Amino acid sequence: MLTPLPAAKHRRPGRRLSALLGALVAATLAATTGTAGAQPAPVRAGTLGAQAAQSGRYFGTAVAGGKLGDGTYTTILDREFTTVTPENEMKWDTTERSRDSFNFAPADQIVAHATGHGQRVRGHTLVWHSQLPSWVSAITDATTLRGVMRHHITTEESHFKGKIYAWDVVNEAFADGSSGARRASVFQKVLGDGYIEDAFRTARSADPAAKLCYNDYNIENWSDAKTQAVYRMVRDFKSRGVPIDCVGFQSHFGSSGPPASFGATLSNFAALGVDVQITELDIARAPATAYADTVKACMGVARCTGISVWGIRDSDSWRSGDSPLLFDAAGNKKPAYSAVLSALGGTAATRTSAAAALPSSFSWSSSGPLIAPKPDATHQIAGIKDPSIVRFNGKWHVFASVASSSGYSLVYLSFSDWSQAGAATHHYLDRSAIGTGYRAAPQVFYYAPQKLWYLVYQTGNASYSTNPDISNPDGWSAPRNFYASMPDIIKQHIGNGYWVDIWVICDSVHCFLFSSDDNGHLYRSQTTVGQFPNGFTNTVIAAQDSDKYALFEASNVYKVQGGNQYLLLVEAIGSDGRRYFRSWTSGSLTGSWSPLAASESNPFTRASNVAFPSGAWTKDISHGEMIRAGYDQTLTIPACHLQYLYQGLDPSASGDYNNLPWRLGLLTQTGSTC
Ligand code: 9MR
């Protein structure tokens, strides 16, 4: 049930008022937000992941679960890499050490870190002769071994279903040397040649969405017998419809780097109709030219979809004596790093430029209204607004405000596909411990350090509830406040505005709480990751504008994936009285914000840069949320193919602001160059 509230708490300026004042909107901006005229030059990305993304590729690394507590390690991991491969945690001797007793906890930890940070996961590996428990190698009976192998593949793949981009289904099945024979593993000896095909067919049925790869080393030189033997197998699989999508070239090279034919090898395999990937790259003593040659070989082949190095720092390497990686033991970039960045198409010198892979102008295509209010006997709803959204466990989870003249409350819905958004059940959260009364503008994220979902919202104070299960609308705790009362600096600047739109984002050390005052100020408080949700202090003005309509409300702050960049969006009211978004970037959450697309003529999102193929149903692009790459407290968004869920409304609607018929629609970036 909605409880009427003091109007001042939730009423926002109507469009008529804003239209009267609209001419003022193009006024000057305060120093903290910079001027809209100073657009950054187009930049190349400053990290491996962002640079690879510009050509549609990933740049990954092997990750050791035991190192995720090492801050230097995770800082580099999350800054540079867009794909991770568990180095040992998905191997048979960890996942099924004794028969039918599975342990996925070590790999789960890596997968959780990766998905939370928007990184894709390569699954490594389901069937391999090494790191194989002795109970498997002791099997001599074909029926038993076939059953054991299929059960292992199916159980492991099912556990990680939906979370793995590609599986190394079979690893290193061919012998070294000039024979071109299959390696004499227990699988080969007991099951014969057909075991590889059997493994791929089993893998396809367990998780049909995952790409299935064959992975090996010493198959980079085209004329080698081992390369030729693997090539013949892949050709045979493709000709007979055996499910195989990709071939991984491990690329553990000596100091001379890849063989001269490596590009031709990649190209020849790709011509069979599979993707190719460099999966475990390391090069003795890491010569810059050898690394550059390897990257160039991949860049020259359209179906070479990504490159992974086998570890981050030299000290993390399985061959640490060779110092074969891109970072030294202290985490410093080695000369090979710059060579790789250049070969990917960027240069290290542009590292501190304004944006990661984000362009400095945007265009969008909008859906029609996808989500409309669903009033019931006790919820007389006029509009659905202020959405927050994450993708988790194969579903979209949307939280939103529902509003009418009698007040604001929160609603939750979930659906697997946008085509089902309109049909989804609306769960009113005033039926949970969140309770009735003024609750609005939710933001949802998973706080990984506590393994808990947080819903942040405004109640007049900045409030939150927690829930161990995002899909359970009854599971939210009663509201608690982040602050004892409104911070003094807000009291001093809020004027006749309202304290609204609470937003939390964390880096690896701090969590920050942003909020707006509808009076030209964006505030920021901070606490530590360890203290969160307590301890928010040091409230400062993060950005301000002398024209309150140019820096109004509905701020979003995101980490851009694969780069060291943050994106700030703030809703403004334009000279036409319509809502639109301006954008800025910064290298840190406490940094000053440089304009990206921040003017009415070059907006982030505004009706003027949005196409409406199914009809122009709104002139306002108002309060919403980016579609994130992950779901954790780092609020990571992709650098490419952005999407934004927003509120819009029938342009002819008028009257009480709280009673306007807001609907939710989805913008998809057009012309994304990466
Ligand atoms: O890097 C891995 C190392 O920590 C393990 O001790 C080793 C055990 O065999 O496996 C290493 O990773 C290998 C990968 O799984 C397959 N290709 C060769 C890699 C380097 O040996």
564-576 pLDDT, tens per residue? Answer: 789 999 999 999 9
Q: Is the pLDDT of residue 459 over 50?
A: yes
From 110, 126, 220, 318, mutation site for ligand 1 pocket: most ligand atoms within 8 A of C-beta: 318
Nearest CA to ligand 1 atom 13: 87
Q: Work out which ligand 1 atom sits closest to the CA atom of 217.
A: 17
As a whole number, mean pLDDT of residues 260-285 equals 96
SS3 at position 233: helix
Q: Work out which ligand 1 atom sits closest to the CA atom of 124.
A: 15
Rounded to whole angstroms, what are the CA distances from 39 to 24, 35, 331? 22, 9, 33
Distance 275 CA to ligand 1 centre (A): 23
Q: Is the pLDDT of residue 349 over 70?
A: no
Nearest CA to ligand 1 atom 3: 318
As a whole number, mean pLDDT of residues 281-285 equals 98
538 alpha carbon, distance to own chain's centre: 29
Nearest CA to ligand 1 atom 21: 318
* Beta strands across the sheet bearing 395-404: 383-392, 395-404, 407-415, 427-428
Per-residue tokens: 645: 């869920």
Listing DSSP states for 319-362 in one string gives TGGG--SSB-TTSPBPHHHHHHHHHTT--GGGTTSS-SS--SS-
Q: Is the pLDDT of residue 20 over 60?
A: no
pLDDT band per the 50, 70, 90 thresholds, residue 41 = very low
Per-residue tokens: 104: 């996925």
Distance 376 CA to ligand 1 centre (A): 58
Q: What is the pLDDT of residues 392-449, one digit of tens each?
A: 988 999 999 999 998 999 999 999 999 999 999 999 999 999 999 999 999 999 999 9
Q: Work out which ligand 1 atom sits closest to the CA atom of 130.
A: 9
Q: Are 337 and 348 in contact (CB under 8 A)?
A: yes
Q: Is 280 a catalytic residue?
A: yes
Q: Is 220 a catalytic residue?
A: no
Pocket of ligand 1 (CB under 6 A): 87-88, 130-131, 171, 217, 250, 280, 318
The predicted pLDDT at position 563 comes to: 72
The predicted pLDDT at position 353 comes to: 36
Q: In which region does residue 469 sit, left (phi positive, over 0), alpha (psi from -120 to 50) or beta (all else)?
A: beta
Query: Residue 119: which of 51, 54, 58, 56 has the closest Cα?
Result: 58
DSSP 8-state class, residue 652: T
pLDDT band per the 50, 70, 90 thresholds, residue 345 = confident
As a whole number, mean pLDDT of residues 469-476 equals 98
Peptide bond into 373 cis (omega under 30): no
Distance 171 CA to ligand 1 centre (A): 11
Q: Work out which ligand 1 atom sits closest to the CA atom of 311.
A: 1
From 67, 310, 314, 320, mutation site for ligand 1 pocket: most ligand atoms within 8 A of C-beta: 310
Nearest CA to ligand 1 atom 1: 318
Q: Is the pLDDT of residue 352 over 70?
A: no
Nearest CA to ligand 1 atom 6: 318
Q: Is the pLDDT of residue 562 over 80?
A: no
Distance 249 CA to ligand 1 centre (A): 14
As a whole number, mean pLDDT of residues 608-636 equals 96
Nearest CA to ligand 1 atom 12: 87
Distance 135 CA to ligand 1 centre (A): 20
Q: Are 227 and 261 in contact (CB under 8 A)?
A: no
Rounded to whole angstroms, what are the CA distances from 561 to 357, 487, 634? 9, 32, 10
The predicted pLDDT at position 346 comes to: 61
Rounded (10°) angle between helices 335-343 and 288-299: 20
Q: Based on the number of CB atoms within 10 Å of its own CB, is 177 exposed (0-12), middle (13-18) or buried (19 or more)?
A: exposed
SS3 at position 275: strand
Residues in the chain: 674
From 84, 85, 88, mutation site for ligand 1 pocket: most ligand atoms within 8 A of C-beta: 88
The predicted pLDDT at position 671 comes to: 85
SS3 at position 443: strand
Of all residues in the chain, the percent with pLDDT exceeding 70 is 91
Exposed e or buried b per residue across 434-453, where buried means at least 16 C-beta atoms within 10 angstroms of its C-beta:
bbebbbbbbbbbbbbeeeeb
From 67, 87, 125, mutation site for ligand 1 pocket: most ligand atoms within 8 A of C-beta: 87
Distance 486 CA to ligand 1 centre (A): 54
Q: Is the pLDDT of residue 4 over 70?
A: no
Rounded Cα gap, residues 202 and 410, in angstroms: 44
Nearest CA to ligand 1 atom 20: 318
Catalytic residue among 280, 553, 571, 600: 280
- Token pair 């600096």 is at which residue? 489
Rounded (10°) angle between helices 194-206 and 225-240: 50
Distance 327 CA to ligand 1 centre (A): 19
Rounded to whole angstroms, what are the CA distances from 504 to 169, 456, 501, 581, 605? 40, 8, 10, 19, 22
Rounded Cα gap, residues 266 and 259, in angstroms: 12
The predicted pLDDT at position 46 comes to: 80
SS3 at position 468: coil
The predicted pLDDT at position 306 comes to: 96
pTM, entire model: 0.64
Peptide bond into 125 cis (omega under 30): yes
Q: Work out which ligand 1 atom sits closest to the CA atom of 318.
A: 1
Q: Work out which ligand 1 atom sits closest to the CA atom of 62.
A: 1
Find residue 526's DSSP bridge partners: 512, 537
Which of 115-119, 132-136, 237-241, 503-507 is least confident?
115-119
Distance 173 CA to ligand 1 centre (A): 15
Nearest CA to ligand 1 atom 4: 318
Rounded Cα gap, residues 567 and 554, in angstroms: 14
Rounded to whole angstroms, what are the CA distances from 51 to 47, 151, 357? 6, 40, 7
Catalytic residue among 87, 89, 157, 172: 172
Distance 91 CA to ligand 1 centre (A): 10
Nearest CA to ligand 1 atom 16: 171
Residue 170 carries which side chain, given as an amino acid letter? V
- Token pair 């000290």 is at which residue? 315
SS3 at position 529: coil
Q: Work out which ligand 1 atom sits closest to the CA atom of 125.
A: 15
Backbone angles phi, psi at 465, to 5 degrees: -130, 160
The predicted pLDDT at position 447 comes to: 96
Q: What is the pLDDT of residues 576-614, one digit of tens each?
A: 999 999 999 998 899 889 899 999 999 999 999 999 999
Q: What is the pLDDT of residues 21-39, one digit of tens each?
A: 333 332 323 333 333 222 2
Q: Work out which ligand 1 atom sits closest to the CA atom of 310.
A: 1
Q: Are 167 and 212 in contact (CB under 8 A)?
A: yes
N- to C-terminal Cα separation, the chain: 46
433 alpha carbon, distance to own chain's centre: 30
Rounded Cα gap, residues 268 and 488, in angstroms: 67
Q: In which region does residue 577 sit, left (phi positive, over 0), alpha (psi from -120 to 50) or beta (all else)?
A: left
State which H helix or E strand residue 481 sits in.
strand 480-481
Distance 319 CA to ligand 1 centre (A): 9
